[in-house]
Structure 1
């Protein structure tokens, strides 16, 4: 599969449900080793999300993250859920986006004490920039009457360990303060997901809603109140980030495809003599001293679009024969193309929307073939 979706992972079922409520039409996707994902689209958009549950701990999170990356080849992996705040730097309900992740339990025990062996992963620059922009725009949060002030997004380090941290005076708390005192939040999975992304080459973002203080004041009553709100805030920001991320990548892919198509298009040089001087026209024709560019429109109506889709099938076949598309991608592309042909022939407002969504998904599948992407850009416009 191509990078036409975002994977979102959570550790707790409460966090999973918060993200799932943001999705339309989730469908179960079975991994061959038994892991279940759900694939849907963010409500009101064409952004596809594969949602999975890792359970607690860095080790489990790393395994499921690696499995998701290999299964979906996503544009990015977002790990979403709740965390405890450190040093009173973030308020309950706020969202922390990790600029980098610490695996804080690394160290070596010597005669004169435990020495830290820091391990860290930085967030990808592009995702961090986009997240900072969304935080500045600040229109991502759900309207929540009676919940007081709107949540804020804060950027900083997140510490990930192997124990539940709920003390300001424990040995672990002192260790974190001594060696990782720039961390804003603490949790138990981000290091595993970050490592999986590092080894697989997949961009990873860690997004956590603050549900407690990790200072000994955590209790069940507060958890019942703040955990759902913190999880919902993290889910709201993460799904908005996913939508914007795929939108940016789509624009970049289209721009590259257009440039590639321009570079590959043969130049038809036509000359016209005017007053003993020659005027050279590139990629066009001259009639009666007027220039007419070669911009043949698609045939009008659903019949014309279906005919164009039939022609696109031959282009797909050619790229498959030439080795530009592997067997699996080719089969999926043909299935999407057939689905687009069926909906295009229905000629209704809803079928037009479904045709456009299917063609966008098809464009994601063939993203490595700029010429096909450029052709699909015109077909998508016609499908609308």
Structure 2
């Protein structure tokens, strides 16, 4: 199998030969045939360190880049998903190893902002740091000292008047929790033990946790008007440099939860320098800055539950997982098709309304693109018989009614513990809901989407959910039925098991309908092909969302014209979800990649999926 870089693992599709039936790929096996990986606090860690926490370090100069690399073990050249070059190695701490991605971006705040933003989006680290050198602005900040920036002033912003420049600085603040840790690290001075012995004599370096200033000018002296302005307008700034403001702005632009810090070693006091001072002090100061960062990493090893929410989530997560739009073809005079939205179902005050003479509506518990679901109390013989779910659909003569009536007919003939139990269906004859159609089912405790909003599934919980859903889908596929809308909102918790609900888009194999939920639809379904492999693809996307917290949605709407729909289908078929293999047990990761293959014929059948999940791997959660 060809070598695959870490950056490419977001879209990795394993070679066909590495996915024999019911076996994890050889890539994931050790010399004894055991699956590589072990559960530790429900976080799977593979042999190549894919499960370790990640830190990205940006530098501005080659001497800083080389110095940071001195601290890394097992360095390799790698690229991010967009092709940005990095050196990747490991930095050991008492709790384990950090995976370190380091690169040199050149000088300037703009370059720092762009690279920091890209790094957070593509690599999704637990922490991103800018490490390098700076000039001192304080008499007590000596050569070799380290400044951890609590905030960065952008000193270039201001108002020029006849009396001088009035400062109106941009300000970026580093992560407050990590800043608290930095105060402790500076006070305890244990970081000094990590400073390499370079044979130089001099005073012991100090760590300062304080503001710094950043601009676009290189400072070489302390007699300029700019130096006086910095000392006067930013009197609490301990150092000056050229990247910190842009770095923090870019690193914190996306609400991805990555902690951002700036650590600078002082290599210049902005006074007349001795010949050759830079050649000695720049690497020395940078080593001191790295020693402080190393000790900081000792103190901020992420907890497993935090890593689950961070390690694979795209920008914006942890948002609540949305209930995406459903795409269906709605016949009309101009032959159009459209996206159906939750807003298409009218909102009514239905509390207390009685359906079918025995189901009293209590509260709305779900709203989809085709119908709305209410929790209801079933009553008879003068008392309550318990709670049920009542799915309601407004009076319609278009294809919505076709979907609803088809769902009722399909559910009436299904009988499986892995499918949502059916009770009855009909049309309401009177009251506010006269003419509305209803389907009554068992009431689920919650949906998979509800659970993932709180915390992604881990370890045995994830595998058990996948098994339950695979059993339900296999029951459908044995009857040549394709569910057509597998997603977290339609996977429901009922007692001790997960069941599949919402059969509105369920059809026989061989039909031709471009419909489903954007983000979960298999690529071929956009062209109308209905096959059981559609469900396999959607099952894999659902597993990624359940295990990582990724969201899959498309908030765009379509004009109700055939031209707009065809253009959308031709240009907006979503790619498979990008995710990091490390968050899944290795066999699950292999299965997901297999199931997300673009060609339906190359995906496993649902029987293959279930056999794969039931196989007894080393450290694998047991069935039952």
Instruction: Report TM bin, short chain.
Output: 0.5 to 0.7
Verify the 8 A CA contact 2:52 2:99 in the aligned structure 1.
no
Aligned equivalents of 2:236, 2:74: Cα separation in 1: 40
Shift of 1:209: 0.6
Verify the 8 A CA contact 1:3 1:74 in the aligned structure 2.
no
CA separation of 1:73 and 1:316: change in aligned 2, threshold 3 A:
farther
Aligned equivalents of 1:336, 1:28: Cα separation in 2: 26
Shift of 1:220: 4.5
Number of equivalences: 287
Shift of 1:34: 3.8
Is 1:89–2:140 an aligned residue pair? yes
Secondary structure of residue in 1 paired with 2:121: helix
Match of 1:147 among 193, 200, 209: 200
Is 1:190–2:239 an aligned residue pair? no
Aligned equivalents of 1:161, 1:219: Cα separation in 2: 25
Shift of 1:39: 2.3
Is 1:41–2:90 an aligned residue pair? yes
Shift of 1:54: 1.4
Superposition pairs for residues 257-296 of structure 1, below 5 Å? Answer: none
Is 1:21–2:76 an aligned residue pair? no
Match of 1:4 among 53, 76, 81: 53
Secondary structure of residue in 2 paired with 1:81: strand
CA separation of 1:336 and 1:8: change in aligned 2, threshold 3 A:
farther
Aligned equivalents of 1:101, 1:117: Cα separation in 2: 13
- Which residue number corresponds to residue 75 of structure 1? 126
CA separation of 1:176 and 1:93: change in aligned 2, threshold 3 A:
same
- Which residue number corresponds to residue 306 of structure 1? none
Shift of 1:3: 9.4
- Which residue number corresponds to residue 268 of structure 2? 212
What's the CA shift string for 1:312-341, capped at 9, x where partnerless? 756567685354245546672488615999
Superposition pairs for residues 301-340 of structure 1, below 5 Å? Answer: 320=540, 321=542, 323-325=545-547, 328=577, 332-333=581-582, 337-338=586-587
Is 1:203–2:259 an aligned residue pair? yes
CA separation of 1:328 and 1:150: change in aligned 2, threshold 3 A:
farther
Shift of 1:52: 1.7
- Which residue number corresponds to residue 153 of structure 2? 102
Match of 2:112 among 61, 83, 86: 61
Is 1:114–2:165 an aligned residue pair? yes
* Unaligned residue ranges in structure 2 (runs of 5+): 1-9, 11-50, 309-458, 470-487, 489-539, 551-575, 591-618
Verify the 8 A CA contact 1:38 1:52 in the aligned structure 2.
yes
- Which residue number corresponds to residue 293 of structure 1? none
Cα RMSD between the aligned structures?
A: 3.2
Shift of 1:238: 1.4
Instruction: With the length of structure 2 as denominator, give the TM-score of the two structures.
Output: 0.42
Aligned equivalents of 2:165, 2:216: Cα separation in 1: 17
Aligned equivalents of 1:147, 1:249: Cα separation in 2: 39
- Which residue number corresponds to residue 296 of structure 1? none
Aligned equivalents of 2:114, 2:291: Cα separation in 1: 25
* Unaligned residue ranges in structure 1 (runs of 5+): 255-308, 342-378
What's the CA shift string for 1:145-184, capped at 9, x where partnerless? 6333432211111111111112222111111122111111
Verify the 8 A CA contact 2:182 2:296 in the aligned structure 1.
yes
Superposition pairs for residues 161-240 of structure 1, below 5 Å? Answer: 161-201=215-255, 202-215=258-271, 217-240=272-295
Aligned equivalents of 1:253, 1:228: Cα separation in 2: 33
Aligned equivalents of 1:333, 1:253: Cα separation in 2: 10
Aligned equivalents of 1:158, 1:310: Cα separation in 2: 47
Secondary structure of residue in 1 paired with 2:209: strand
Shift of 1:64: 0.9
Q: Mark the structure with the bigger radius of gyration.
A: 2
Aligned equivalents of 1:103, 1:334: Cα separation in 2: 38
Secondary structure of residue in 1 paired with 2:200: coil
Shift of 1:73: 1.3
Bigger mean CA deviation after superposition, 86-95 or 313-322: 313-322
Secondary structure of residue in 2 paired with 1:183: coil
Aligned equivalents of 1:85, 1:49: Cα separation in 2: 28
More helix by share: 1
What's the CA shift string for 1:359-384, capped at 9, x where partnerless? xxxxxxxxxxxxxxxxxxxx69xxxx
Shift of 1:120: 1.0
